[in-house]
C-alpha cells in the first residue's frame, strides 16, 4: 500500500468560491491561480471555471504557458510582468496580459518590436512599498504607454498591504492615494484582493463596477483572510492521512523529539503518517486541532519529518488505519495556521508527497 496521505480537492467548492467572489463585487474577476493554484493544482482549478472565469492571474510566464498548453483560452495576467525582454515575443504569441510595475519594464516595452500590442496592467505603489510606480510618476507613465503602438489598453491597479485588518486605516489611505493619482486617466481599475473583496468593497466600489476588476486569491480556496466564522466560502482542500501506530503512555511520560509534551494523564497516542516534509507545519503546537474519524481532537508533541502525534484518549474506537483530517471540512486551515504562527496560504502551498484526488460534484 502507498503512503496514505491524500489531498482531496473539491473543484465544485472552488467554482462556488469563485462565484461568491464575483457576486460579492459585481464586476469582473481574475482568478488568482499562481503557485500551482496555491498548491491545489492550477490546471484542474482553471478547468473547473473554464468558460465562466473572466480570466486568470499567475506569477510568471512558465505558469501561464502551463495553462495555455492545457487549452485554456481565457485571458491570463502575469502578475510580475516580464523579467527580460526576451520573454515578450512568447508573451505576445500566447496572448498574455502583463503587469508593468517598474520604469525599466516601461523602457523595454516601448523599445520592443512586437507583432501586436499588449494588454497592460499598470501597477501603482500606493503604500505596499513592494513593487509599483510611485503616485507622482504614475500619470506620466500612463500617458507614455497609452499613446504607444505596443499597448492595446491599460488597467490601473494597486495592491493593499493591510486589507485583512479592518481596524487599520491604511487601506482607506491607499484607496485615496490611488484615486487621487489616477483621476482623469483611464476607466479600468483593479484594487481588490480577497481581503478587500470581503471587507472593503463599500469603500472601493464607487459607481459602475463593469470596468472594475477584482483579483480573488486565497478566498477561492476556502480560507477567509478576515477569519470570519460565518463565511459563505467552502474548503477546497481536505488533507487526510491515517493512524499507523497506537500506544498508551503514562501520566508524566514524554513523547517525541525534544520531549516537549508530557502527558497530563494516561494518554492514548496515535502516530499519523504526515510530517513537515509533507507540508504540515513543524511549528504547530500541542492543541492544534485535527479530527479522527470525524471527531475533533488535538495534535500533541513535536511534528517530525514524516510523522506526528494525535491524542486518541477520548476516541476509544480509533484504530490502525483510522482516517485523520489535518485540515479541511471539519478542521479549519486557518485554525491550524494560527496555531503554527503562519497563514493558510503557506499551508496550502507547502503540501507535497500527497496523492491528489480531484472531485467535482457537478460531474456526478
What is the set of active-site residues? Answer: 34, 257
Let me know: does 158 contact 124? Beta carbons within 8 Å: yes
Torsion of CA 337, 8, 236, 49, to 10 degrees: 140
Around 99, how many Cα atoms within 13 Å sit in the side-chain half-sphere?
Answer: 25
**19: nearest Cα among 219, 154, 195:** 219
Parallel, antiparallel or unpaired: strands 189-192 and 212-214 = parallel
Distance CA(362)–CA(276), nearest Å, equals 34
Residue with cell 494588454: 119
Answer for the pair 215, 32: CB distance below 8 angstroms, yes or no. yes
Cell for 124?
A: 501603482
For residues 133 and 125, the answer to whether their CB atoms sit within 8 Å is yes
Sign of CA dihedral 98, 104, 109, 112: negative
Instruction: Return the closest-CA partner of residue 300 out of 354, 249, 342.
Output: 249
Tell me phi and psi for residue 337, to 5 degrees. -65, -45
Per-residue DSSP letter, 144: H
The HSE-up count of residue 244 (CA atoms within 13 Å, CB side) is 15
Coil, strand or helix: which one is 166?
Answer: coil
Distance CA 105, CA 339 (A): 41
354 DSSP 8-state letter: P
**154, 188 Cβ separation under 8 angstroms:** yes
Helices of type H across 223-299 = none
Amino acid at each position: 500500500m502507498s503512503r496514505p496521505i491524500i489531498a482531496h480537492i473539491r473543484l465544485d467548492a472552488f467554482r462556488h468560491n469563485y462565484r461568491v467572489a464575483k457576486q460579492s463585487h459585481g464586476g469582473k474577476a481574475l482568478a488568482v491561480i499562481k503557485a500551482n493554484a496555491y498548491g491545489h493544482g492550477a490546471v484542474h482549478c482553471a478547468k473547473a471555471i473554464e468558460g465562466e472565469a473572466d480570466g486568470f492571474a499567475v506569477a510568471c510566464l512558465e505558469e501561464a504557458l502551463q495553462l495555455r498548453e492545457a487549452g485554456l483560452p481565457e485571458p491570463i495576467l502575469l502578475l510580475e510582468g516580464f523579467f527580460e525582454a526576451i520573454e515578450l515575443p512568447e508573451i505576445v504569441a500566447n496572448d498574455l496580459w502583463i503587469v508593468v510595475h517598474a520604469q525599466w519594464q516601461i523602457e523595454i516595452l516601448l523599445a520592443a518590436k512586437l507583432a501586436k500590442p499588449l494588454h497592460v496592467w499598470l501597477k501603482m505603489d500606493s503604500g505596499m512599498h513592494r513593487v509599483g510606480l510611485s503616485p507622482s510618476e504614475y500619470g506620466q507613465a500612463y500617458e507614455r504607454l497609452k499613446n504607444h503602438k505596443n499597448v492595446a489598453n491599460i488597467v490601473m491597479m494597486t495592491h493593499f498591504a493591510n486589507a485583512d485588518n479592518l481596524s487599520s486605516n491604511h487601506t482607506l489611505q491607499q484607496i485615496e492615494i490611488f484615486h487621487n493619482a489616477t483621476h482623469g486617466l483611464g476607466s479600468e481599475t483593479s484594487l481588490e484582493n480577497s481581503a478587500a473583496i470581503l471587507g472593503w468593497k463599500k469603500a472601493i466600489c464607487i459607481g459602475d463596477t463593469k470596468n472594475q476588476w477584482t483579483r480573488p486569491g486565497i478566498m477561492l480556496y476556502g480560507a477567509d483572510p478576515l477569519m470570519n466564522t460565518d463565511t459563505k466560502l467552502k474548503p477546497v482542500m481536505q488533507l487526510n492521512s491515517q493512524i499507523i501506530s497506537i500506544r498508551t503512555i503514562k501520566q508524566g511520560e514524554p513523547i517525541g523529539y525534544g520531549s516537549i509534551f508530557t502527558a497530563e494523564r494516561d494518554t492514548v497516542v496515535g502516530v499519523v503518517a504526515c510530517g513537515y516534509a509533507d507540508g504540515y507545519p513543524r511549528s504547530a503546537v500541542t492543541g492544534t486541532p485535527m479530527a479522527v474519524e470525524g471527531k475533533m481532537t488535538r495534535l500533541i508533541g513535536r511534528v517530525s519529518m514524516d510523522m506526528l502525534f494525535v491524542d486518541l484518549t477520548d476516541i476509544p474506537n480509533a484504530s490502525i488505519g483510522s482516517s485523520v483530517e489535518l485540515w479541511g471540512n471539519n478542521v479549519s486551515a486557518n485554525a491550524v495556521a494560527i496555531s503554527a504562527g503562519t497563514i493558510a496560504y503557506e499551508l496550502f502551498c507547502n503540501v507535497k508527497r500527497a496523492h491528489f484526488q480531484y472531485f467535482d460534484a457537478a460531474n456526478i
